Amino acid sequence: VLQLATAILAVRLIWLTGRKWAWGLIALSIFLMAVRRAAPIVHVLLGDTSYRIDLPFEWLGLAVSICMFTGMAGIGPVFRAFQRNTESVRASQRKTEYLNAVLRAIGDINQLIAREKDQGRLLPGICNCLIAASHYRHAWIALLDDKRQLVPVATASAGKPRPFPRAQLESGDRR
């Protein structure tokens, strides 16, 4: 019974790890061991008095079955933790890629500021740097006029242009 339960635990690990053939072979081998362990029980149940049970061998088999079941039951949480860590590493990699792209945009903007003296070309160039080097799809630069109103002076878009988000900026919405 323990070996059958262990085989079921091994089959459950197929979905967790995605290693179908490896866990399938382990589950099959445990199942075959369970069938082999059932042979003495079948002889006893059929009343075969000529079959002699090797008690030390059976106790050893029980100990092995308990160890295998405990090991299979304990390895599932290890794989789940590994899966969570893998997802966390992927999220960190995506964040690192994003931050590297932002840093690349900042470097490009610094180079543009150093060489471009005309504000009419500088501000649109800054927007273009943000779009080209980072994950931003739209960029705007706005200045405050004498009445402290936002006035868009440069824009760039990767794809369909969007209107200047005046209401969002004035309300403090940062989406």
139-142 long-range contacts, Cβ below 8 Å, gap at least 24? 140/164, 140/165, 142/169
Per-residue pLDDT of the chain (175 residues; tens, 9 = 90+): 777 777 777 777 776 777 677 777 777 788 888 777 777 778 778 888 787 777 788 788 778 888 888 887 787 788 788 888 989 999 999 999 999 999 999 999 999 999 999 999 999 999 999 999 877 899 999 998 999 888 899 999 998 888 888 888 778 776 6
Answer whether 0.85 is exceeded by the pTM.
no
For 60-79, letters b (16+ CB in 10 Å) and e give ebeeebeebbeebeeeeeee
